[in-house]
Chain A
């Protein structure tokens, strides 16, 4: 949910209308959870969950196989997958571009903990172009303070540059 909230906040900071919400219920670290983000130029009234995402972020690669994480995606969609193994096996819908990134290692190096929200947010920004680096950094500094803010910005920027080189 933190990643969804931060991405939506960054989109809002960038001038869009944004909405972020969890798949309500069992939100605890370790359990498979979903969170959703919408952004738009107009006010968002729709409240249903997202069934046909333009973009997905997979934070935990062990879900792939157990859960059809790509469900509902269409050609032109973009998936950002946190994985140490870029050659993971999955049935990706035709026309969906997958960016694999080892966000866990980046997070461990920059933050000292395997919490990948901010790293993946940087990757998302670079892969989709939906969020610019400046509002992204603003969102992170709004959420974190002091050295934690610096560390999270560094993690996001590393992922941004890594994916940015690949785009």
Chain B
């Protein structure tokens, strides 16, 4: 049954139904509504969890790390500067293999200060060892939280995950969402069984010193786990589809790619606008399609190459910039398509909340087909 609600509220509702035992978060725009809702649910005894109030994001994720090591299912949410403040702890959580799920209400990073959306925050943590899943709409945001816990807590994986949904564009938008009931969520996501945990009777150490004889092997094992997460995600996504009728068994998802000459590649809410633009371009006789990346980490390089075989021109929409190095997604798509013969262009777009219309998507396709790319799209040259 569809219900009409705000994206942040839908996320809070599904997090509640995932039964986290410990939540620690620090409010920051545009993540605030999620943690406000969860704090209220705990206060109202609708959610039996320990809600730890903290003085910073660094403390929030540190509290989560300890709680997870003690064997609890743990949740947090943040964005932008808050995630930046968690940088050090993020690497520790992944390195200690703690399956924490954290929502990122994607927002740009300062300076200059901007509260608006792009994906610079989570993409800047791409090397931290967290899985990263991106939602196109609020339904996908809801569903990905359940899948994230399932994948993270898989004893073959044991990694943390970001569930990324675009700040404001999704977090503050009201639209219909199907929220699975508690019994349905319980059937999909059983109680957390820790692989190992802090226990005074059987002492363990987490995050120990690793000398040069061991450090590389720890990094190797963590890297292998990220790659194994592909299969785990596909399995969890397929099971989700069987139970709820919405299939998430694909790491990348094509839209009107069959017979396409030109393909857009994107992540998150911009995919919705791109699909509408593609329908219009198709009506006008252009052979254009979209490849949506759902899992940025692990990066689905071979899956992208497979989905885009036969496409001659590729235009990547990057809502981030690796300053001095190009868009992060575009760089990796180029590597994935190396040797394929396709011309791959990168477009830095929609930074700091700049609105993207269908005509902007069409303009990017035109630029790519003319061989113009690797550029900022829509620069206001009059203010430069």
Contacts and interface: CB of A to CB of B under 8 A. Distances in A.
Partners in one complex: yes
Interface of A: 4-5, 8-9, 12-13, 17-22, 24-25, 44-49, 51
Nearest to B356: A48
B176 A46 contact: no
26 contacts: A4-B174, A5-B174, A8-B4, A8-B174, A9-B4, A12-B176, A18-B175, A18-B176, A19-B174, A20-B175, A21-B172, A21-B173, A22-B168, A22-B172, A24-B116, A24-B117, A24-B168, A25-B116, A45-B273, A45-B275, A46-B272, A46-B273, A46-B358, A47-B272, A47-B356, A48-B358
B358 A17 contact: no
Given A8-B174, A22-B172, A25-B115, A48 B4 contact: no
Given A18-B175, A19-B173, A47-B169, 6 more contacts: A8-B4, A9-B4, A45-B275, A45-B276, A47-B272, A49-B355
A28 B358 CA distance: 30
Nearest to A45: B272
A49 B353 CA distance: 11
Contacts of B275: 45
Nearest to A16: B176
Contact of A20 (B2, B137, B168, B173): B173
A83 to B, nearest CB: 28
Nearest to B275: A45
A13 B2 CA distance: 10
Contacts of B168: 21-22, 24
Given A12-B4, A45-B272, A45-B273, A17 B357 contact: no
A21 B4 CA distance: 12
B270 interface: yes
Interface residues of B, number: 28
Nearest to A1: B172
Contact of B353 (A8, A12, A20, A24): A24
Contacts of A46: 272-273, 276, 358
Interface string B160-182: 00000000110011111000000
Q: Taking each of A13, A21, A44, which has the highest tally of chain B beta carbons within 10 Å of its own beta carbon?
A: A21
A19 B4 CA distance: 9
Contacts of A5: 6, 174
Contacts of B137: 45
Give the top 3 A-B pairs by smallest Cβ distance, nearest first: A45-B272, A24-B168, A21-B173
Interface in B345-371: 353, 355-358
Interface of B: 2, 4, 6, 30, 115-117, 136-137, 168-169, 172-176, 269-273, 275-276, 353, 355-358
Contacts of B2: 12
Contacts of B357: 48, 51
B3 to A, nearest CB: 9
Contacts of B174: 4-5, 8-9, 18-21
A35 B301 CA distance: 39
Contacts of B355: 48-49
A103 B30 CA distance: 32
Contact of B175 (A13, A25, A44): A44
A74 to B, nearest CB: 17
Nearest to B2: A12
A47 B358 contact: no
Nearest to A48: B357
Given A12-B4, A45-B276, A24 B172 contact: yes
B48 to A, nearest CB: 27
B262 to A, nearest CB: 19
A13 B3 CA distance: 9
A21 B356 CA distance: 15
B137 to A, nearest CB: 7
